[in-house]
Structure 1
Amino acid sequence: MTFTQSPISFAMLSIATSFSAFAESQSSQDSQEQAIEVTETITVQSDFREETLQTIPSSLTIMSAADMDTRNAQNLEELTGAVANVNFAAGSQRARYYQVRGIGERSQYQEVINPSVGIVMDDIDLAGIGGIASTFDIGQVEFFKGPQGSRFGANALAGLIYLQSNAPTDEFEGRVRLSAANYDSFSTGLVLSGPATDRVNYRLVAEKNVSDGFMENRIVDADGRELNRDDTNNRDELTLRGKLAIAATDNLDVDITLIHADFDNGYDGFSLDNSRETFSDQPGFDQQQTTAASVKFTYTGQDAFDLITIVTHANSDLAYGYDEDWSYVGLHPWEYSSTDHYLRDRQNSTLELRLVSKPEQRIFTDTTDWVIGVYGKNDQEDLTRQYTYLASDFTSSFDAQNLAIFAELQTHLSDALTLTTGLRIEQRDIDYVNSDGLDYQPEDTMLGGKLLLAYQLSDAAMTYASINRGYKAGSVNSNGTLSDELRAFDPEYLWNYELGFKTSLLDNRAVFRAAVFYMTRDDIQISSYHLDERADGSSEFISFWDNAATGNNAGVEVEFLWDISDSLNIYTSLGLLNTEFSGFTYGDGTKETGRDQAHAPNYQFNAGANYYITDRWLLNVNVEGKDEFYFSDSHIEKSDSVVLWASSLSYQADNWRVKLWGRNVFDELYATRGFYFGNDPRDGYEAKPYYQFGEPARIGLTFDYNF
């Protein structure tokens, strides 16, 4: 396997806002000559049917392996700046929660929540635990925007992110990656792939990533000496992945994926001084061990349909904790000190069976393709909270059963006009008990679906109009000090109205895609909090969930990619977003009459260029930015708008490559999470904003060797 310049058409068909410098082809000249011949090669892997990116009637971004390589991305969170109207929230070492079109959770403490944006890797549900989503040897990442109620159900109210790892190969190949960057950051990766027997191919992947992190801890000992640790917000991440592709019979394929992730990260992200210098004498942690598997059976032996069966299981041990006072005893006049730790044992299992009609077996006078299926899921989560001010540990047990039936019809009204209708009915039963004496068994029945009309204007252009309904289940607030009216929160529903247009231009050397959407939200689930003041003047931070009355989200997503010449290509994307919610009652009794939703910037953009200096040298320059946004729905603190620059210079030999790269090269200070409360004894616990910052300037060198 070698890598040189990737075919430009691959990049144009990726509506992720990044082009690749390299891919697996013999030379840049050969790739460019082949570009027009492969304009329909990128397909959507996770929908009911495989469909090309250019023809799927949806606002969907796909980032290929080459796109991720151009961004030097090591984790899913490092891709979001390239995708219009997708954001993430920190509050942990690695982002676990994402927002699509302004909708999505930002954190989890004691409550059990149902994510608005799902994360799936190789059919394995990682919603809420997506911090382990390493991008090493991932073939493509699909960002579905808008509700996916008929396809993915309760975990896709706002959208879904699907990661597809690379498949086993028919011939042996291998890859080694070595990378080093500032902040004592090092990573190594290994890939081995090939045939085990005539009917079995394998792929083995291992990656190790370590870094001191981007914070300095200035804790002071009893003699007044600064200890100056620089690794309390460190990263220590191991990812192992194995895949088997088995041709069991002529009609049965079996695909098996095994994943093990061990992330032993620190968490010391907030400073009393709102800087990169902390004072925590008991720094926190953000640890996760996940072992997961998926098995997919594809049976094609029936004349009328293919039978697809997918079974998955994931077991995760999660440990998250922080120094609640962000300081050391000597800083407090009364020697106050506290920590808050959350230890979770989480399991989920899924089973999906679906029948997908074959093209020659359409119904309704040979006009309609069809899909029908059932889906079952079991979520279990046991929590132990260890908090300084609790008389004893808080414990809870959560068990949820989801059962859904779904169907989709794709009716070809003419050669150019297609009507798609989809419906999904999902029942969710919860059994929740905790050590505060709460015993709660809510049930929700939810309905989602879509109505979509797509028209193929020409071989190069199509347009569509769609109405989608998404949903997510309600749940229960677990904190025993909450009032009865704050105890439970209801399901949330969303209607999405969308118009889209896609076309290729300039003899297939450019691609333009655009979507306009308007969404209405009912019973919005909002993450809020209040503070209980203690006798010593300090406060307890209590997070809970509530329903606001209504909300709406509207916006535009535009992407344009252009292969200007054999040596230069450019890419751009723009997301515009306007959001509002109203009807929410704050803790002081006042009611919200209309404001932007949290983590929903009014604009996001990404632009860049690849310049091929020679067949072996490539220069990439990239800029991305986003508008200011509210950190929470319960206070008015905002981030600043930000513009981040990145660049890389690569040299490609026949079977190896070296790349010098930089992200945030001008060292912009920007916040990814924010709170507003009193936590500093030096000013009498005066309420003020506190921020967690994104990564500073990163400079690194990466070496890849293929064999």
Structure 2
Amino acid sequence: MAIFRSSAPHVLCVVALGAGIVAAPAAAQSVAPQPDAAASPAPSEIAEITVTARRRTESLATTPVSATVLSGSDLLQQNVRSFQDLRGAVSNLELVPLLSGGTSFTVRGIGQTFNQVNSDTKAGFYVDEMYVSRQEGNDLYFYDIASLQVLKGPQGTLFGKNTTAGAVLLTTQRPTDRFEGYAQVRAGSLRRIDTEGALNLPLADGIYARASFRTQSVRGFIKHVLDDGRSGNVNNQSGRLQLRLDKGGPLTIDLLGEYNRSSTDGGATIPLACLPGADYIQNYDALHRVPYCTAYPVLGRSDTVYGGATLLAPTSAAVTDLARGGDADGAGRYRGLGPFNRTTATTLNGRLGYDLGGGIALHSVTAYRRSRARFYTPVNNAPDDIYAEYDDTRTSQFTQEVTIGGTVADDRLTFLAGAFYFQQKTRFLQDTGPDWIDPLGYVYDAALTYRSYAGFAQASYKVTPKLELTLGARYTYDRKTGSSYVFFAGRSNTFLYNGLPTSCGYFTGDFLGGIANCGGAPFTASGRNHWDGFDPKLQLSYRWSNTIFTYLTAAHGYNAGGFNQQIGGSSSDGRFPSSYDPEKLWSYEAGIKLDLLARRAVVNLSGFYQKYTDIQAGVNVLIGNVSTRQVQSAASAHEAGFEAEVVLRPVPDLTLRGNAAYLTQGYDSIRPNAVTLTLDTPVSSAPKYTYSAAVAYDLHLADGGTVTPSVDVRGVGAKPACQSGADYVCRLPAYALVGFRLDFAPRADGPWRIGLWGTNLFDTVTQQARTGFFGGFGIDRFTPGRPREIGVETSLRF
């Protein structure tokens, strides 16, 4: 059904790439404070980019890591308000919105896109050096930012937790010794009102505080046919308080407390097709006069759904036009509750630094995070929905990291050694109630405790002033303990229905009898296991001149194994019936960094090859007629690609930026147990290519003010989706999104800024994720990206 056709300006994309504007990050500079004029580059030069990729501050131009660095001001200029806005703007970074709230990260094709209790992230996410183990609510940290760094490839020899795919480092603004701050208001389409601000206060000599906040409120862009509601709204609030102790001595202490809250309608997916022969569609049809696909035909619009869905309204929680379910008179759990997503996250973070002298320092990071994500997003968002699921995930985590490092031996040896402890406790509840898949309802209640211990070290030695050798190693020990409770199975029984003996059985028999007559005993199981891994790293870098820097890297990554907790039957010994092994990755990378034309052109190029073994593949299998998520140690694969980032300043007031990336993947071997995979199955849903291009020009007014127009385009290639058996039966189409800004400053050094902004100017319909017909649901649907939005923004800095 070819009803969704992109209106993206593909000509603009081709022109941008042909011009070589493969764009890049700019200097790590804050949104709020004004830069010190004395530290600013010459008008014709590109500002130096600094990174902390190796746990120390250094120039990106001489750091042997493929990294994209975006400052707070870069994010503002490119209209990046959440991680999902980075799609296409960061090379080889895929971002997928999660129903549970937040965004999953996939770097160079390696990541995690499902979020059950036993899922582990492959790309490490760090907020102010705190590792965030779960993906729920990670978007809520996105305010008062100093810099965002995306590091590609394994980084475990420098960071606390394993970071097999790469690391995403979000650094917020630190308290300073100045009275300063900012306030920002953004208004626009769909009744958008966003506010953001910060206040920095020197409390006493050497003691500083910073309070910052953000609110977001946007009306939903998906309209309903059957009610006055809308889907896709945003309603977020966040607040952060920091204290810093720095009296000029060897000791510095940073304390941070943060609370984040999101309460939305859960969004909506757009149906593309209805399959009458699907198992769960047939269950519905057996109990209704009008077949489902006739009752709810595909609307054929990318911004409209039926509406009216309520949790537990379908099947035996109600009365159909042909039969009355055995649970029709029950009170029901969550009865009448519409789609929603409610996420909270509380963070406590303490960092301590102590200068031991002689170029050596001790650093400690102690952090605690507690999150809860509850959501209900129906399949079709119709009064009689095929499937209704309530999920409730509660997680608490504690991390402790201690490192010692510095530069010694006449600045020839730089080293870092550390120890790391991580504890995560997660409770995951999935409760469907009776629906057209589970006539008696389905409850999956699981708990997991995950402890990890690690030691890591890395040292870089300047063999000559230009040649540097780096060696690193990491040892990790992981232990997991879990338990599960699953109810969905019926029992053999006979009951009276309308005075006639009726047998329980899937589907109609269980529906008519309900839990009282047909409910069976729940399934329970538990398990405990441990794994360990050793990850080495070898790197050579050479600085040919002040303008040319090259490096070669070989690094290993590891992710712990686990067990499948979504069980589908009674366990004879009370243990989980299946588990999966640790997965491993060898990554080989070469890069060159160029600083050309008197720093009017900066070019970063990298190429990589990765060997990925014992891949933990997420597959859906039918267990007791229920589509169930399982993880298998399925295969080995290879991945290869390149990344290019460029900043150009041909004249003082004109800046051109961009990036381009390419990725190819393929399975090398498939394990016999991985029956849903073949060598032709895509390894992941990552696109083959991404790119972006941007141009900005500063116009200087006679009265000292400036006007800065800027335009950007971000492109994402087509990618596989909708896995069904061994094949991906659909692909998400490629797209390009165009945005703009027009910023006005009455005085170049003044406190006020006013801007006009626009995103997705051509109102291109994008598919961020898609399900296909897999699992018997019978509804092929996609998650839409945001439509065109235009608005105004004003900020005051003091």
Q: TM-score, normalised by structure 1?
A: 0.88
Task: Name the counterpart of 1:502.
Answer: 593
**Does structure 1 conserve the Cα–Cα contact (< 8 Å) formed by 2:602 and 2:646?**
yes
**Does structure 2 conserve the Cα–Cα contact (< 8 Å) formed by 1:651 and 1:658?**
yes
User: For 1:253 and 1:605, how far apart are their aligned partners in 2?
Assistant: 41
User: For 1:126 and 1:337, how far apart are their aligned partners in 2?
Assistant: 34
Q: 2:306 aligns with which of 279, 289, 298?
A: 279
Task: Name the counterpart of 1:16.
Answer: 25
Residue 14 of structure 1: how far off its partner (Å): 9.7
Q: 1:379 aligns with which of 416, 424, 432?
A: 424
1:375 alignment partner AA:
F
Map 1:184-195 onto structure 2 (within 5 A): 184-195=191-202
Matched, 1:422 2:472: yes
- C-alpha change, 1:195 and 1:410, in structure 2 (3 Å) is same
Matched, 1:357 2:406: yes
**Does structure 2 conserve the Cα–Cα contact (< 8 Å) formed by 1:530 and 1:543?**
yes
- C-alpha change, 1:355 and 1:678, in structure 2 (3 Å) is closer
Residue 213 of structure 1: how far off its partner (Å): 2.4
Map 1:418-497 onto structure 2 (within 5 A): 418-435=468-485, 436-481=523-568, 487-497=578-588
User: For 1:552 and 1:253, how far apart are their aligned partners in 2?
Assistant: 45
- Aligned-residue RMSD, C-alpha: 2.9
- C-alpha change, 1:611 and 1:252, in structure 2 (3 Å) is same
**Does structure 2 conserve the Cα–Cα contact (< 8 Å) formed by 1:86 and 1:101?**
yes
Matched, 1:569 2:655: yes
Larger radius of gyration: 2
Residue 268 of structure 1: how far off its partner (Å): 3.1
User: For 1:186 and 1:404, how far apart are their aligned partners in 2?
Assistant: 44
1:350 alignment partner AA:
T
SS in 1 for 2:404: strand
User: For 2:616 and 2:535, how far apart are their aligned partners in 1?
Assistant: 17
Task: Name the counterpart of 1:580.
Answer: 666
Task: Name the counterpart of 1:345.
Answer: 394
Map 1:113-192 onto structure 2 (within 5 A): 113-127=119-133, 128-152=135-159, 154-192=161-199
**Does structure 1 conserve the Cα–Cα contact (< 8 Å) formed by 2:219 and 2:233?**
yes
Residue 429 of structure 1: how far off its partner (Å): 0.6
1:446 alignment partner AA:
G
Matched, 1:558 2:644: yes
Task: Name the counterpart of 1:311.
Answer: 366
2:780 alignment partner AA:
P
User: For 2:795 and 2:363, how far apart are their aligned partners in 1?
Assistant: 37
Unaligned runs of 5+ in 1: 1-11, 219-225, 330-335, 535-539, 680-684
**What is the CA deviation profile of residues 7-46 of structure 1, one whole-angstrom value per residue up to 9, with x for unaligned ones?**
xxxxx9994389999885589999563665x854x32235
Residue 202 of structure 1: how far off its partner (Å): 1.1
Percent identity, aligned pairs only?
Answer: 22
**Does structure 2 conserve the Cα–Cα contact (< 8 Å) formed by 1:248 and 1:254?**
no
Task: Name the counterpart of 1:333.
Answer: none
**Does structure 1 conserve the Cα–Cα contact (< 8 Å) formed by 2:32 and 2:797?**
no
Residue 94 of structure 1: how far off its partner (Å): 4.5
- C-alpha change, 1:361 and 1:434, in structure 2 (3 Å) is farther
User: For 1:201 and 1:39, how far apart are their aligned partners in 2?
Assistant: 28
Map 1:252-291 onto structure 2 (within 5 A): 252-272=251-271, 273=298, 275-280=302-307, 281-282=309-310, 283-291=338-346
Residue 587 of structure 1: how far off its partner (Å): 9.5
SS in 2 for 1:468: strand
2:261 alignment partner AA:
D
**Does structure 1 conserve the Cα–Cα contact (< 8 Å) formed by 2:51 and 2:58?**
yes
**Does structure 1 conserve the Cα–Cα contact (< 8 Å) formed by 2:208 and 2:244?**
yes
Residue 468 of structure 1: how far off its partner (Å): 0.7
- C-alpha change, 1:578 and 1:130, in structure 2 (3 Å) is farther
- C-alpha change, 1:111 and 1:297, in structure 2 (3 Å) is closer
2:306 alignment partner AA:
F
- C-alpha change, 1:372 and 1:447, in structure 2 (3 Å) is same
**Does structure 2 conserve the Cα–Cα contact (< 8 Å) formed by 1:621 and 1:646?**
yes
Task: Name the counterpart of 1:403.
Answer: 453
User: For 1:493 and 1:147, how far apart are their aligned partners in 2?
Assistant: 10
475-484 vs 287-296, which moves further = 475-484
**Does structure 2 conserve the Cα–Cα contact (< 8 Å) formed by 1:217 and 1:277?**
yes
Residue 154 of structure 1: how far off its partner (Å): 4.9
User: For 2:391 and 2:778, how far apart are their aligned partners in 1?
Assistant: 25
Residue 357 of structure 1: how far off its partner (Å): 3.1
Task: Name the counterpart of 2:228.
Answer: 228
Residue 346 of structure 1: how far off its partner (Å): 0.4
Task: Name the counterpart of 1:211.
Answer: 218
User: For 1:32 and 1:357, how far apart are their aligned partners in 2?
Assistant: 28
Task: Name the counterpart of 2:791.
Answer: 700
Q: 1:652 aligns with which of 742, 745, 751?
A: 745
SS in 1 for 2:373: strand
Residue 369 of structure 1: how far off its partner (Å): 2.7
Map 1:68-79 onto structure 2 (within 5 A): 68-79=75-86
SS in 2 for 1:33: coil
Q: How many residues align?
A: 665
Matched, 1:297 2:352: yes
SS in 1 for 2:232: coil
Task: Name the counterpart of 2:496.
Answer: none
Q: TM-score, normalised by structure 2?
A: 0.78
Residue 130 of structure 1: how far off its partner (Å): 4.9
Residue 591 of structure 1: how far off its partner (Å): 4.5
Task: Name the counterpart of 1:322.
Answer: 377
**Does structure 2 conserve the Cα–Cα contact (< 8 Å) formed by 1:81 and 1:606?**
yes
**Does structure 1 conserve the Cα–Cα contact (< 8 Å) formed by 2:471 and 2:538?**
yes
SS in 2 for 1:78: helix
SS in 2 for 1:114: coil
**What is the CA deviation profile of residues 492-536 of structure 1, one whole-angstrom value per residue up to 9, with x for unaligned ones?**
1111100000011110111001000000100111122134685xx
SS in 1 for 2:85: helix
Residue 486 of structure 1: how far off its partner (Å): 7.5
602-611 vs 86-95, which moves further = 86-95
User: For 2:683 and 2:267, how far apart are their aligned partners in 1?
Assistant: 27
User: For 1:14 and 1:22, how far apart are their aligned partners in 2?
Assistant: 20
**Does structure 1 conserve the Cα–Cα contact (< 8 Å) formed by 2:131 and 2:160?**
no
Map 1:68-107 onto structure 2 (within 5 A): 68-92=75-99, 94-107=101-114
SS in 1 for 2:720: coil
SS in 2 for 1:288: strand
SS in 1 for 2:74: helix
- C-alpha change, 1:92 and 1:293, in structure 2 (3 Å) is same
User: For 2:74 and 2:454, how far apart are their aligned partners in 1?
Assistant: 35
2:129 alignment partner AA:
D
Task: Name the counterpart of 1:240.
Answer: 239
SS in 2 for 1:99: strand
- C-alpha change, 1:320 and 1:35, in structure 2 (3 Å) is farther
687-696 vs 128-137, which moves further = 128-137
Map 1:328-339 onto structure 2 (within 5 A): 328-329=383-384, 338-339=387-388
User: For 1:28 and 1:253, how far apart are their aligned partners in 2?
Assistant: 27
Q: 1:522 aligns with which of 613, 621, 644?
A: 613
1:167 alignment partner AA:
R
User: For 1:482 and 1:248, how far apart are their aligned partners in 2?
Assistant: 62
SS in 1 for 2:157: coil
Residue 89 of structure 1: how far off its partner (Å): 1.1
